[in-house]
Amino acid sequence: MKKYLLILTFIFLLACSTEESSEIDISSTSSNESINSNKDDISDLSETFSQHEKMIESYIQNESNLNENLNNLSDELLITKNQLNELIEKNDNLKEENLLLQMSLNNLRIQYETPNIEKSSEEMPLIISSEKEIKEAKEAFPNNTFLNRNNLRIEGSDSVYPYINQALKNYTYKNLNDNDIEITQTGQDKAFEKFLDGEIQIAMASSKWHDREFNQLDAEGINYTQIPISYFGIAFIVNRNNNLECLTRKKLSQIWIEGSNFYSWNQIEQRLSSSQIQFFGHKLDSIISDYFVRDMHTGDMQSKNLRRIVEKQNDTEIISAVNQLFGGFGFIDSAKVNPMVKAIDLTHNWDMNGNPMDCKEVNYKNTSNPDSGLPFMWQRVLYVNHDVADKLTYDFLEYYLNNATEITITAEEFITNGEPAYHPYSQLDYDDFWNQIEKDAGNIN
């Protein structure tokens, strides 16, 4: 019996031992499965991270490509703008060449039709007496054929002479008669004295007369008309996004003169940007730069030279530079201003604080007004003395103003005295000038 009990005890112990071993095996297996599962999760996360990393690299590459495309588009746009400017300039040149060609053809036709005109002109007698004396003699002897012949005396500036001389040639070709016409280059001052004394009907001036001349004319009771016939001006341009609107001639000179302390826009006006001013202009030895410096309001400033600037070859290059740079500031021929930039207004007047006043000459649209007084604007002018003018005077002036555009372009080819190319006004302006002559003269017929 005891033997059987021992056997049963042994079997029981063996069974317990097996159960514990089984539990250990099961626990170990479960832990391994958990580790393997975590490894799989880590692997999945690593793969997901790798995919995201590739996506980020793709986005960065796409952004880089977009930036490159934008830069290329910007370059192409700039090239297109420059090409547009060149086309505009070429178009203007073609218009001028076309007008010159028409004038040449007309001259050839006229010379062919009237081969003896120059000989006839040389044989025309010269009346030396003053126009006032001639007018008095005509009134005293109304039936005298010689005295009542029309005559025209024109004197003045050599800069205006090519205009009027060209016009007279064309006029006499078209109007063969026994009129007495003479044009002389005597200089502006001497021409004024003769104009005042009634010895000439038309005076040629390279610039508008001063107040002292006008006061003398008024004191003598002279009935006259001033006619601007061509102009040259300097425009000062900024980027279209620049808020600068107007400057006085004095302030502008202080900004551009050698030794200037203006470097940023808010030094000009506090409300403007603090960005740096970048100066562009024509070569310092050019005619337009010379005119700019000569007309500066230097006051107590010692220098009479331009500050250091980026020199460009022509107006087109200056416009392009100012258009591209917000801080750009340049000077160009006023006739070449276009919508790519903004021309600031200029005035001679300022208030007690030095701020500009009377900025009403918007973007140089008032150049045809002889009394506008625009800074950095020059006009060639004719003056007509109505007290001694006759029908021939008015016939010639009407012919001239009807053909002034072509005459101006042709005459400029012969002016080589170191002056810039002056520009004709519009035909509407010339029509207004003629209307003013008719108004001042009264009954012309």
**Phi, psi for residue 259 in degrees, rounded to 5:** 90, 5
The whole-number pLDDT of residue 171 equals: 84
Can you give the pTM of this predicted structure? 0.63
Instruction: State the residue for tokens 């701020």.
Output: 355
Terminal Cα distance for the chain, rounded: 170
Tokens at 287, concatenated: 């005619």
DSSP state of 260: -
pLDDT along the chain (445 residues), means of 10: 57 54 52 67 72 76 76 76 74 62 55 42 38 52 46 90 88 66 90 94 92 94 93 92 90 91 94 94 92 78 81 94 95 91 83 64 53 78 93 91 90 70 88 92 72
* Mode of pairing for the β-strands spanning 377-385 and 202-205: antiparallel
Q: Could you tell me which of 125, 110, 104, 100 has the C-alpha nearest to residue 172?
A: 110
Domain boundaries, the chain: 114-223+386-412+421-441, 233-364
Residue 106: the pLDDT is 54
CA distances from 183 to 1, 153, 213 (A): 167, 6, 22
**Does the fold of domain 233-364 match that of domain 114-223+386-412+421-441?**
yes
- Asked: is 233-364 a CATH 3.40.190.10 domain? The reply is yes
Q: Tell me, rounded to whole angstroms, the distance of Cα 279 from its chain centroid.
A: 15
| Strand 202-205, strand 246-248: pairing | unpaired
Q: How far apart are CA 226 and CA 214, in angstroms?
A: 11
What phi and psi, each to the nearest 5 degrees, are found at residue 235?
A: -105, 145
Evaluate whether the domain defined by 114-223+386-412+421-441 bears CATH number 3.30.70.270.
no
